[in-house]
Amino acid sequence: MKNRHFRPFSVYCMIIAELRHTTRLNRILGSSGWMELPLVCVVLSGCTVDEMLKDAALATASGADLVEVRLDRLWVREVFPEPEEPSEETRGRRNERKEPDYIPQALDSVDLNSVLDSFKQGVELPVILTCRPISQGGFFPGTEEERLNVLSEGIKSGPSWVDLEAEIAEKSRKKLMKLASGNTKVICSLHSSEKPPPSGEIIGDVEEMSEMGDVVKICYSTGGTEGSLRLFEAAWELKNSEVRNSIMGLGSGGDWTRIHAPLLGQYMVYSTMEVGWHLAYKGKINRSDLSTAWELLGYSN
């Protein structure tokens, strides 16, 4: 019987073999002249301007290169569940982290011009502006036309980057890209709650999306080891590509491409200022932990 896990796993073993060689060589030569590190972007936590600005200050102090402002998060309110009293069975065990509920807010609850001005004045680092639709894991409660208007106003505020999903209609995309041209770079993104397809399909998507932005970002729900290996294999095959890309997963193993991003030639890595054991299960990684991992692996000094 043919083992459907064979190819991804064999590729991963090959990569690890090269990893042992490259990290050893990198320690000898020093990363400053040998292995270029990706840009590190911190995704700002919180659902209010004040919360995001506080996180931006932490990101600046951590040495991040840029931050992502998720404008769509301003249209929800976080409600955390009440902590449960431990039972006899669970007493002494590590408490399971409860995720908050996100309650949608009215569109007119956000003064967009004031928000954009606050971020422009209050964030020192370059900013990626994003307004993620519900269809791709976001929270924006309005219509697509209303969301595109938010993106349009966001671009006019002059951010360094804007995230435009690949699913945006061609006519609307062209208008936004024209508005961004010359001042704001474009990230063309794809976020899927489905498991990753075979690596060849992922590579095909990256190449197809390359004409839609300066950087291609792809994120899937890993669904387990096989999905994580598919993402890793795709990133490995693209490591010498001229297409600037950032490939990652959400879920177990989703942080593999983030941790090994320098070896994989990733242009940008997304991290967080959040801390806690739960991050690994989500495929995310703390900014400081990312730096530590790169140092231990010999990617940086």
pLDDT tens readout for residues 113-142: 999 999 999 999 999 999 999 999 999 999
pLDDT at 19: 56
118 in a domain, yes or no?
yes
What is residue 47's DSSP assignment? S
Q: What is the pLDDT of residue 27?
A: 45
Is 177 within the bounds of a domain?
Answer: yes
Which is more confident, 290 or 13? 290
Q: How far apart are CA 129 and CA 259, in angstroms?
A: 24
SS3 275: coil
- 11 falls within a domain: no
- Write the pLDDT tens digit of every residue in 193-221: 999 999 999 999 999 999 999 999 999 99
Residues in the chain: 301
Res. 112 pLDDT band, cuts 50 70 90: very high
Token pair recorded at residue 133: 């639709």
What range defines the domain where residue 216 resides?
Answer: 37-80+99-294
For residue 266, tell me if it sits in a domain: yes
Alpha carbon distances (Å) from 112 to 109, 117, 134 = 9, 9, 19
Output the domain CATH number for residue 128. 3.20.20.70
Per the CB < 8 A criterion, the answer to whether 15 and 236 are in contact is yes
21-44 pLDDT per residue, tens? 555 445 434 444 457 899 999 999
Task: Determine whether 284 is exposed, middle or buried from the number of CB atoms within 10 Å of its CB (0-12, 13-18, 19+).
Answer: buried
- How many Cβ atoms from other residues are within 10 Å of residue 138's Cβ? 20
Q: What pLDDT score was predicted for residue 74?
A: 98
Distance CA 194, CA 192 (A): 5
Q: pLDDT at position 157, please?
A: 98
Query: 110: closest CA among 79, 139, 67?
Result: 139
Residue 99 pLDDT level (bands cut at 50, 70, 90): confident
- Cα–Cα dist 44/50, whole Å: 11
Read off the pTM: 0.86
* Listed residue (160, 165, 156) closest to 212, CA to CA: 165
> Hey, what are 40's tokens?
């590190």
* DSSP calls for 56-84: HHHHHHHT-SEEEEEGGGGGEEEEPPPPP
Q: Is 138 within 8 Å of 100 (Cβ atoms)?
A: no
Task: Tell whether the model's pLDDT for residue 277 goes beyond 50.
Answer: yes
- 250 domain residue, yes or no: yes
Q: If you average pLDDT over residues 141-154, what whole number do you get?
A: 98
Q: Tell me the CA distances in angstroms from 5 to 193, 226, 289, one per residue in order.
A: 21, 7, 30
pLDDT of residue 3: 39
Rounded CA-CA distance 68/200 in Å is 29
Q: Between the CA of residue 155 and those of 65, 167, 189, what are the distances in Å? A: 20, 18, 16
Average pLDDT of 50-73?
A: 98
Q: Is residue 88 part of a domain?
A: no
| 6 pLDDT more than 90 | no
pLDDT in tens, 63-86: 999 999 999 999 999 998 876 666
The answer to whether residue 3 sits within a structural domain is no
What is the share, in percent, of the chain residues with pLDDT greater than 70? 84
Q: Is 239 domain-assigned?
A: yes
Once rounded to an integer, what is the mean pLDDT over residues 78-95?
A: 67
Q: Which residue has the tokens 């009215």?
A: 106
Region 49-74 average pLDDT: 98
Q: Does residue 257 carry a pLDDT above 50?
A: yes
Count of structural domains within the chain: 1
**Burial bucket for residue 137 (CB in 10 Å: 0-12, 13-18, 19+):** middle
* Cβ atoms 225, 200 nearer than 8 A: no
Which has more pLDDT, 2 or 168?
Answer: 168
Q: How confident is the model at residue 100 (pLDDT cuts 50, 70, 90)?
A: confident
Coil vs helix vs strand at 216 = strand
Give pairs for 90-96: CB < 8 Å, separation 24+. Answer: 94/277
